Amino acid sequence: MPTNFGDKLVIAISSRALFNLDESHQVYEDQGLDSYSQYQVEHEDEILAPGEAFPLVKKLLRINEKLGGEPRVEVILLSRNSADTGLRVFNSIEHHKLNISRAAFCGGESPYRYVAAFGCHLFLSTNAEDVRNALDHGIAAATLLSSGAEDRDDDELRFAFDGDAVLFSDESERIYKESGLEAFTENEITAAKQPMSGGPFKHFLQALHGLQAEFPPKTCPIRTALVTARSAPAHERVVRTLRTWGIRIDESLFLGGLNKGAFLKSYGADVFFDDQQTHCESAKSHVATGHVPHGVANEN
């Protein structure tokens, strides 16, 4: 048995992000844990409908089929269920033919503790507390929001990221929040040649970039986009930072404060990550959206 995943891209997903567990979760909320457990056992042969992250997971796992040979993407299930109540989840995984074989069922406890142990690059959940805990321990993580977006029925996988407090640290955004746009712009011009520190999603983006490099450029099924409220002249520091990191972003949108939703729809994002709730609310009707509760915008 392997002791680690080498250079694989490793994604952790909660059971409620992968499948629609709203009905059974309501039983838990209304009647408590014992009734929930009984409900799951009684319904364990009923297949669960796809959840918010299901289309993303299917596309991630298809990358292994495209590359052939040793799988390069590993998806791991992390769940607050017990193994007993989680049997329904694994039955649904088998039904939907998802190549997921590793899981941690935590019996009501938060599963974030196992994100680092599995060597995960990204954790997606519908539980904001679990996501915050993962972020606090240096793991890229996002809370998937309920979305009205339609799934794109193709094999291309498109990620979109906000910049400050997601790919980059929140050092510049903090100046904007505390001193306003003029001070922010002056700082970015002065520090244009000084790379920004990495944010919580830097290492995930690096892992994606490495996976992209295994495909010929014209046949790569993964695309990345930076979708930021920045505009010129604050764009230069972003470009130079990514260049210093040795990371290529396929598309960069500097929107100067414009609403991001319509641009994300035009790009066709499979998922978008942003630290600000207002941007997430704008995006979620167009594309699957993950809120990253990190940085100055999420401080009490």
- CB-based burial label for 202 (10 Å; 0-12, 13-18, 19+): buried
Beta-strand pair 122-125/9-14? parallel
- Across the chain, the runs of DSSP E, i.e. the strands, are 9-14, 73-79, 102-105, 122-125, 140-144, 157-161, 222-228, 251-254, 271-274, 289-291
- CB-based burial label for 257 (10 Å; 0-12, 13-18, 19+): exposed
- For residues 298 and 275, what is the distance between their CA atoms, to the nearest angstrom? 8
Q: Does the annotation mark 170 as catalytic? A: no
Instruction: Give the residue from 177, 194, 178 showing the smallest Cα distance to 240.
Output: 194
Catalytic residue among 130, 162, 164, 274: 162
* R_g over Cα of the chain: 20
Task: Evaluate the CA torsion angle 291, 257, 207, 153 in order and state its sign.
Answer: positive
Residues with catalytic roles: 162
